[in-house]
Structure 1
Amino acid sequence: MTQSYSGALRKMRTHANENNEVCYELPIGESAVDVNALIGSEIALSFSNDIHCVHCNRKTKKSFNQGYCYPCLISLAQCDSCIIKPEKCHYHEGTCREPEWGEAHCFNEHFVYLANTGNVKVGITRQVSDTISPRWMDQGATQATVMLRVPDRLTSGLVETLCKKHIGDKTNWRTMLKGKPEDVNLIDVKHELMEKISAELAEIQQEKGLQAVSEVESKVHHINFPVETYPDKIKSINLDKTPDFSGVLQGIKGQYWMLDGDRVINIRKFAGYNVTLQVL
């Protein structure tokens, strides 16, 4: 029997089960769809050509920054350029778009980490404990470990900038979707990187205090994704150009669905799009 779900898309919610496999839940309208359960099934998705901002729900002809209308893009702190480049935080200059939002999200502990997404990268997150960070799952990381703990977002950006002189900070999504990469000794990479940035790290500690940056003795987390078949040649689906598609769901990694015919779609990119999903 065909199952049908309609409404606005949101990025998939994730958690890791006891086997460290990522479990995906897709918010669509009022429903929350267990996407893992759909792997191996034929699905069809159609876009109604109706887009609403994920923040203010304003109808918009074009979505910006994964779901926002243009007025929200230029007014919200969460859409400011310092979210992508935290070393450019300008709260202390009195120019934060939304000071209360900044105080709630930027002035708390952040962590600098290393992850294997097909290549080893450095990144920052607020969500780390003994469990797997949602950020690692969203990036399709098969391994990750924490390097450093810092007191706020600006400091995390300054430390990340030091690391970027020696290691990349971007995920190559095509490489990430091509298969499971070979394991890397992230602890060795961490120690080598710490040695390379030690002098400049000491300067940050001298300016902000010795406790401002502290090394974290963290294990390497291994993360598994529900994928039956990886694509050979990636063909990306864009709902603006291809509003209707169908096929067999073969796997999920990061925020991507993998379908037969080497097709992939980044669900997060189309947050706010009103669609109908059918399980055939």
Structure 2
Amino acid sequence: MKQIFIILSIAFFAVSCKSSKKNTPAPENQTENTAGTIIVEPKAENTSKKANKKAITEMATDHYALFNDFNTLSITADVDYKDKNMDQSPTADIKIEKGKQILISVKALFGVTVAKVYLTPERASYYEITGSHYDGDYKFIKDFLGTEVTYENVENLLLGKAFYDLNTNEYQKIKNNELELKLNQFLMRLVLGSKNQVASTEVTEDKSADKLVIQYPSYQSSDNIYLPKEIKIHAMRKDDVQIRIDYKKVSVNQSVDFKYKIPSGSKAIKI
């Protein structure tokens, strides 16, 4: 379950800077779609910064207008997780207090909790019943990836919002519905749908062929809250990881218990 914690706590940014040297970067202006087919992508349009900013501001307005405010969310989800060593289908209870805390309980057969992830703006923590845990801050993510990832980023991903704010980051519009953002050694490509909802986010790392693709195939409206219905994550690296999260039930603004305590005797690990 350590992989699940890492992927969730860094908002599925599992594109490692420590990838194998045998990996080779994709040819210039090419990327790989989710079906594995190489397609040629056009270079950025030659538009002025002012026109680019105006276009992105309009897209941002439509994007954020989709999401109504809330205090708490409680989500029951089915999860399919696959890597080279595991093929599991647990369930997950995802609880969110907006801007304050996220608690994810991963459950195996018969509803037995096998791991918990707890995130706040200052704290990233998890434990699993096998007896290990991590409890610290987000600095390990920055050290690992070389770019900043915050609690807000993780919350945005679970809610279906743009991972990095559209209004405060220097996105470049490359097509009518596609934006790019350079983040140190990472390039993030954001594809928006017909309502300017996030259709997919793709992250590549300059010095390797590692890639992360996050897709939102469908959305739903529950109690007047716009949320993803399904999230697909594919981390294409030395250890290929695929995760599918299906939101089955959503409760809005109900009383939510965020009880989290690392079991005594659990062994701290370094990530």
TM over 0.5: no
TM bin, normalised by shorter chain, reads: under 0.3
Structure index of larger Rg: 1
* TM-score relative to the length of structure 1: 0.25
Which structure is higher in helix share? 1
* TM-score relative to the length of structure 2: 0.26
Higher relative contact order (CA 8 A, sep 6+): 1
